[in-house]
Amino acid sequence: MSLRLHGVSKISNGETHIYPTDLELQKGTMNVLLGPTSSGKTSLMRLMAGLDKPDTGKVFWESEDVTKKRVQDRDIAMVYQQFVNYPSMTVYDNIASPLKLQKKSAAEIDAKVQEMAELLKLTSILDSKPNEISGGQQQRCAMARALAKDVGLVLMDEPLANLDYKLREELRLEIPRLFEASGSIFVYATTEPEEALLLGGNTATLWNGRVTQYGKAMDVYRNPVDETTARVYSDPPMNFVSVQKDGAVVHFPDGQSTKLNDELARLPNGEYRAGFRAHHLEMSDGQSDAIEFAAKLIVTELTGSDTYIHVNAMDERWIGLIPGLHTFEVGEVLKISLNPKNIFFFDKDEQLVASPNHEPEKSGV
Amino acid sequence: MEKTVNQRAWLLVLPVLVLVAFSSIIPMMTVVNYSFQDSFGENIFFWVGLEWYQELLRSERLWDALGRQLLFSFIILMIEIPLGILVALSMPKKGISASICLVLMSLPLLIPYNVVGTIWQVFGRADIGLLGRILSDLGISYNYSQNAFDAWVTVIIMDVWHWTSLVALLAYAGLRSIPKPYYQAAMIDQASRWSVFRYIELPKMRGVLMIAILLRFMDSFMIYTEPFVLTGGGPGNATTFLSIDLVKMALGQFDLGPAAAFSLMYFLVILLISYVFYTVMITIDKDEAKQ
């Protein structure tokens, strides 16, 4: 079983929502569509589901062309950002509704509903109406409804975005479990790189209606093919600076330079873009092999255990993630450092030419 | 912190007190006063206690009018609510046609009651009215001034013509507030059009429909102008609803005492309905806040 998009595109009101896209999703895989708001995640899902017809291209289910097949006749289920349940039905009837429409026997329906309720911890509230239960439970109910159908393709469009932080974490851990139990193709849209990494499986990064890269979550994270993908797959977005490579040395705009390893030294000389993630900026501790910058602080944001610093350095604006809570003065000039082994190099066309040799990741994404 | 005593606050409340006193309390108390007295010319009054109330409650007149009134409100609701929903469901969802529709639907609501009455009164006349003339030429006997059934039909049509838009607009607003994913989810579930209406649209419109029902009930319960313009409550007493009866009693017969008692009882009924209205609204609000 597989879902294959072949050159599908979607234009609506003269605006291109999806540029021609090829994508093949295999049975039993978790596929995360990662991209910022209005990057085309929902549009792409609607094309996969058949809720929209593509303007060009074809959609194949296994080897069958389903481009023109109505959504009612397809083997899919969908979970939305809003909690969509039938308002006047109990949780039990909500989960049972698609099964009833499939004309299953009463015993079969009951067994399936109980199984789903068990899986999603809804057993104690089967007799409640959607407006009597919490947001998290409503979304569980919607998920149970989607999964009860036992379909080949389950689409989840930012299902956790409307939940509070605690519930989000809880459900986030359950989704891979549900996915394993189902054996379907899962497609999961999110704006958060962290979620994409937690769910694992494959990631497709989206930007302005294009799939910039598709592959195993870790591969995409470690080797983003271009600057856009790197930005999308980092939170906060990856920092960049233009550098000049000359032999085995790179020169930064402020005149500093650092030595490159042998592999990088072999790259042709010229201008490159150096990229690095926020948590690789550190407060300078005089390490010999790190590059040190003077950075003027613009904003600090405190989280529970870390500090985000927005700084100006070398005419670029960077965001750094520093462990611990710090109270810096706005306008203060900080000494921050970057280990060259954490730098990604992109060429003038923004394509990746070298990514760092990865050691186990530190905290943050 | 210690409370500061500031008597000037009374000064700020005064305008409202004066306004309410002159607009409600004084007229109301005058009516209460009348309802316990018998009056003759030259402002001579006699205390009669509860006599008027007892007489009214025993008289068939009040009960007949109330019966007619309830039947009328019931028919109005049975027609306007389903029709309004049907209109709302068939209205375009967006674009210029939706705007045009909304404007057209609002037009009847802007027309004063007595103009609506006059329009239909003339329209239905058998001698010069377009509708009346066509019907009589077709051989259908229709005469609202002589046939009670025709008079009822005419008043009901007037009200339906005048107020179905309100129900439709409220229902339309309710429909528009249903997020699209509900429809998509139903589509994916292979739900029929009827199921979508029964299990998504109707429950989601519950709040606005409740408001529509209560507004229409209250308003039709106080109907006066249309039957007054059409036949003055006739033929006979056929369209003499509560308001019309009250005016007949107070201004036609100048029975101030019974009329005052009548209006107080009428007022209590309206107050009771308002209370129900308020309670239902609060419950709906609570329900929706939970969602």
Longest dimension (CA), chain B: 85
User: Nearest Cα to B176, choosing from B286, B105, B82, B94?
Assistant: B94
> What residue numbers bound the domain in which A89 lies?
2-228
Does residue B1 register a pLDDT over 70? Answer: no
Whole-number pLDDT of residue B288:
61
- Give the nearest chain B residue to A84 (CA atoms): B182
φ/ψ of B222, rounded to 5, equals: -110, 15
A147 and A265 both lie in a single domain: no
Q: Does residue A279 fall inside a structural domain?
A: yes
- Give the nearest chain A residue to B190 (CA atoms): A72
Whole-number pLDDT of residue A360:
41
List the end-to-end C-alpha distance of chain A, in Å, as a whole number: 33
Q: Does residue A359 fall inside a structural domain?
A: no
Q: Does residue A74 fall inside a structural domain?
A: yes
Does residue A363 register a pLDDT over 60? Answer: no
| pLDDT digit string, tens, across residues B135-191 | 888 888 888 888 889 889 999 999 999 999 999 999 999 999 898 889 888 888 888
CB contact under 8 A, A76 and B188: yes
Indicate the range of A257-266, B113-122, B133-142, B222-231 predicted with least confidence: A257-266
- Residue A49 makes CB contacts below 8 A (sequence gap 6+) with A71, A74, A76, A78, A153, A155, B188
Whole-number pLDDT of residue A358:
52
Rounded CA separation B235/B110 (Å): 29
Does residue A262 register a pLDDT over 90? Answer: no
Chain A 55-84, CB below 8 Å of chain B: which residues?
71-72, 76-78, 80-82, 84
A245 and A223 both lie in a single domain: no
Report, as an integer, the average pLDDT of A109-114.
92
A75 and A163 both lie in a single domain: yes
Report, as an integer, the average pLDDT of A59-69.
88
Domain boundary, last residue among A188, A209, A228? A228
CA pseudo-torsion sign A348, A352, A355, A361? positive
Rounded CA separation A334/A293 (Å): 8
Rounded CA separation A118/A34 (Å): 30
A22 and A58 both lie in a single domain: yes
| pLDDT digit string, tens, across residues A226-258 | 999 998 998 888 999 988 888 888 888 888 888
pLDDT grade, residue B279 (50/70/90)? confident
Rounded CA separation B238/A202 (Å): 76
CB contact under 8 A, A89 and B204: no
Does residue B130 register a pLDDT over 80? Answer: yes
Q: What is the mean pLDDT of chain A?
A: 86
CATH number, domain of B121, equals: 1.10.3720.10
A208 and A256 both lie in a single domain: no
Q: For A98, which of B182, B184, B189 is closest by C-beta distance?
A: B189
Q: Does residue B158 fall inside a structural domain?
A: yes
CB contact under 8 A, A101 and B184: no
Whole-number pLDDT of residue A362:
42
| pLDDT digit string, tens, across residues A135-163 | 888 998 999 998 888 888 999 999 988 88
Longest dimension (CA), chain A: 76
Please give the helix or strand (H or E) that residue A216 lies within, else none. Answer: strand A210-216
> What residue numbers bound the domain in which B212 lies?
61-256+270-290
Name the minimum distance, in Å, from the CA of A84 to any CA of chain B: 6
Domain boundary, last residue among A228, A258, A289? A228
Whole-number pLDDT of residue A365:
43
pLDDT grade, residue A347 (50/70/90)? confident
Whole-number pLDDT of residue A337:
87
Q: Does residue A159 fall inside a structural domain?
A: yes
Unique residue bearing structure tokens 């919490």: A134
Domain boundary, last residue among A180, A200, A228? A228
Cis ω on the peptide bond leading into residue B235 (within 30° of 0)?
A: yes
User: Nearest Cα to A193, choosing from A215, A218, A170, A211?
Assistant: A218
Q: Does residue B5 fall inside a structural domain?
A: no
Report, as an integer, the average pLDDT of A56-78.
87
CB contact under 8 A, A84 and B179: yes
Report, as an integer, the average pLDDT of A192-215.
91
CATH number, domain of A172, equals: 3.40.50.300
Name the minimum distance, in Å, from the CA of B90 to any CA of chain A: 22
A17 and A83 both lie in a single domain: yes
Whole-number pLDDT of residue A202:
92
Q: Does residue A363 fall inside a structural domain?
A: no
CB contact under 8 A, A89 and B199: yes
Does residue B5 register a pLDDT over 80? Answer: no
Q: Does residue B56 fall inside a structural domain?
A: no
Rounded CA separation B176/B178 (Å): 5
A214 and A253 both lie in a single domain: no
Tokens, residue A159:
């299902």
CB contact under 8 A, B202 and A88: yes
Whole-number pLDDT of residue A364:
42
Domain count, chain B: 1
Amino acid sitting at position B248: K
CATH number, domain of A282, equals: 2.40.50.140
CB contact under 8 A, A72 and B190: yes
Tell me the three state secondary structure of residue B152.
helix
CB contact under 8 A, B291 and A97: no
Mutation target to probe the A interface, by most A beta carbons within 10 A, among B178, B190, B285 is: B190
- Beta-strand ranges (E) seen in chain B are 37-40, 44-47
Q: Does residue A360 fall inside a structural domain?
A: no
Does residue B64 register a pLDDT over 60? Answer: yes
Indicate the range of A7-11, A113-117, A164-168 predicted with least confidence: A164-168
Q: Does residue B119 fall inside a structural domain?
A: yes
Q: Does residue A263 fall inside a structural domain?
A: yes
A174-178, B12-16, B55-59, B253-257: range with highest mean pLDDT:
B12-16
- Give the nearest chain B residue to A81 (CA atoms): B181
Chain A 39-58, CB below 8 Å of chain B: which residues?
49, 51
A40 and A99 both lie in a single domain: yes
Unique residue bearing structure tokens 């001698």: B127
Q: Does residue B147 fall inside a structural domain?
A: yes
Tokens, residue A344:
């990604």
Whole-number pLDDT of residue A359:
43
Rounded CA separation B262/B250 (Å): 9
Domain count, chain A: 2
Share of chain B above pLDDT 70, in %: 97
A188 and A261 both lie in a single domain: no
Tokens, residue B181:
């994913």
Rounded CA separation A254/A141 (Å): 56
pTM: 0.74
Interface of B with A (CB under 8 A): 179, 181-182, 184-185, 187-191, 199-200, 202-204, 287-288, 290-291
Whole-number pLDDT of residue A361:
43
Whole-number pLDDT of residue B2:
65
User: Nearest Cα to A159, choosing from A175, A147, A177?
Assistant: A175
A119 and A163 both lie in a single domain: yes
Does residue B74 register a pLDDT over 90? Answer: yes
Contacts of B181 in chain A (CB under 8 A): 78, 80-82, 84
User: Nearest Cα to B147, choosing from B124, B129, B177?
Assistant: B124
DSSP A226-247: BHHHHHHTSSSPPEEEEEEEET
**Chain A to chain B Cβ contacts (< 8 Å):** 57
Rounded CA separation A48/A50 (Å): 6
β pairing state of A270-276 and A257-259: unpaired
Name the minimum distance, in Å, from the CA of B141 to any CA of chain A: 47
Rounded CA separation A242/B114 (Å): 78
A244 and A221 both lie in a single domain: no
Q: Does residue A361 fall inside a structural domain?
A: no
- Give the nearest chain A residue to B179 (CA atoms): A82
A142 and A219 both lie in a single domain: yes
Q: How far is the CA of A232 from the CAs of A196, A203, A228, A363, B80, in angstroms? A: 11, 11, 6, 18, 54
| pLDDT digit string, tens, across residues A284-306 | 776 667 888 888 999 988 888 88
